[in-house]
């Protein structure tokens, strides 16, 4: 694998880690938002935009 291939693989791994972190944050904020009676549709939709690139 050349330098370009290694860079592409590294970018893909980083993207996956960032996506997993965004999903984890979304899951962790759902319960407290529901308990607080927040408008979950808007809250979850906004946060999910970071995950659905």
- What is the residue extent of each domain of the chain? 21-53
Q: pTM of the predicted model, to two decimals?
A: 0.60
* Contact of 49 with 25, CB cutoff 8 Å: no
Q: List, for residues 16-37, the tens digit of each pLDDT value.
A: 999 999 999 988 988 888 888 8
Which residues of 1-53 form beta strands (DSSP E)?
none
CB 47 within 8 A of CB 29: yes
Q: Which residue has the higher pLDDT, 6 or 1?
A: 6
Burial 21-42 (b: 16+ CB within 10 A, else e): ebeeeeeeeeeeeeeeeeeeee
């Amino acid at each position: 694998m050349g330098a370009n291939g290694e860079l592409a693989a590294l970018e893909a791994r980083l993207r996956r880690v960032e996506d997993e972190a965004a999903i984890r944050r979304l899951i962790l904020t759902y319960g407290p938002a529901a308990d607080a009676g927040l408008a979950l549709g808007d809250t979850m939709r906004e946060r999910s935009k970071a995950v659905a690139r």
